[in-house]
Structure 1
Amino acid sequence: MRGEVRAIAPLYTDLIYSGFDALPELGEEVYTRAFDLQLGGGAAAIPIMLSRMGLPARLGTFLGSDAISRLAASLLEENGLKQYENLYRGEGRPVVVSTVFSYGGDRSFLSFGDEITQADLADESCYAFLKGAAIAFAPQGRPEVVKKLHADGTVLLYDIGWTPEMKLADYKDILQYVDFFTPNEKEARQLTGEETLEDALRKLGEAVKTPIIKCGAAGCIALDGEKVLRVPAVDRFIPVDFTGAGDNFMAGVLYGVYQGWPLARCLQMGNVFGGYSTTQPGCYKAGLTLLQAMDCLQYYDAD
């Protein structure tokens, strides 16, 4: 495949505290045994990770003139992504700041941001940035933009966040044009009203070309035509923090798509990216390289 992978996404800066026994009570101060400052996850992880792997990737994002925006820009370049465009023209503080309390697997957050997202862009600006991409992360709430990108021949991946009222019918205007849709187990069940993952998968398949359900430590399942693919996770990884695992999974899948691999192999690479990312706190700290990814991919060939 030729061309860039593109996404429009806000940036997050994560202040990650780990190695503590309890959060402070009022008036108390607690020192943690570890701290890190990183970019957070979200759709921005796709161009960041794929750029690391040597693919042409570009991010459209939102940066202000404030100190946090300058920090986020420096962290982008520290992570190897120099191909990004600032789509923000306002005076606010568009980068979200999150304080992350990592409990050795699970985590909790305190976050602040001015809630400036791609929704603040006109459809024309959104399409102009994504037009010409080989693969794009489909923008949320933009059915006309997604329709145009589909007509252009752009391969589209779509993902959503959890809401308790989510229904499949609410997304059909976009899903009909999407190539890959990647909800997690909880989202898939809520969207479809189905209890079993296979039933949920087949229900999703009525709305989208290739549904993929992320199953965490169990790997993932996907519908390839009429065939259900079950791809277990790589069990050699020792998880420390699950922040950004789903975002890394999507990047791994798209790496395989870009290379023209069969769907099963793309899912295996997704599991490698996602699983490896859990071995260190945060979305990018594990520092997966292409050589390491290809080595881990051999886990599946040994079966």
Structure 2
Amino acid sequence: MAEMKKKATRESYGEALAELSGTCERLVVLDADLAAATKTGVFKKACPGRFIDCGIAEQNMMGVAAGLAASGMIPFASSFAMFAAGRAFEQVRNSIGYPHLNVKIGATHAGISVGEDGATHQCDEDIALMRTIPGMTVINPADDAEARAAVRAAAGYAGPVYLRFGRLAVPCFNDPASYRFEWGKGIVLRDGQDVTLIATGLMVWRAVEAAELLKEEGVSARVVNIHTIKPLDRELVLRCAAETGALVTAEEHSVIGGLGEAVCSAVCEGCPAPVLRVGVEDVFGCSGPAVDLLEHFGLTAQNLAAKARAAIALKKH
């Protein structure tokens, strides 16, 4: 495949917020002393009067965001995923989720691709945590255009939203001019009859690459991008299970509690079919270059293709 432009979705997050500053007067951005890393500094430069640095106090930041939302503002509370979903979980659950307040949580530096920051900062549990909070929407965009569209959609949605962004630059495969973000709807990137690869975040493009590898072997793989993990597009998942008979999920997250388990639950209840999962197994991360870590943990197109072959072999003939 030809090389394409790459960009980290955390950059898309900051730029999208800055773009919204001129049209959404109720928008306010909070950060926990990480504006340079989360890229909310871009919004601060564009609109300093509606930017609040809460310091290294993520739990308090969620409480401030809740108060702002209760006052009619649209707060985006920003920090690393480990701190936004992990350290501040109780405040997110009780102060934002329970009263169903209109707070958007912008969580950057999610997953293994944080790289050299190591296991303490590599949050592979955040999707699982946020999925358990009643009424919380969970979005994990795959590239620049999708991340920008997700931020705009979240700003216009009434209710709590968890937005997951990455540190690593990823291919910009969606056309910004034609891309359309639909709340809670997956996107079929390519059709196929033998197996469906259902991916989210940076694993979406790797699923496309895996489909190319499988095509060379005569295997027809459907590729589905699930940007909204909760609510899951059950209709699309079940249709894929019925039409291809086997599925493989792919996520830069623990195989416990993330996209894979959401898909397994839907398929088990609605259209039983083999489902194999690609993700971080029941282990902590480790320090190293992001690309090397993705390979180390099996988050590769090659491993996806291997899982696809195994899933096809499990189909009932």
What is the TM-score when the length of structure 2 is the normalising length? 0.30
What TM-score do the two structures reach when normalised by structure 1? 0.31
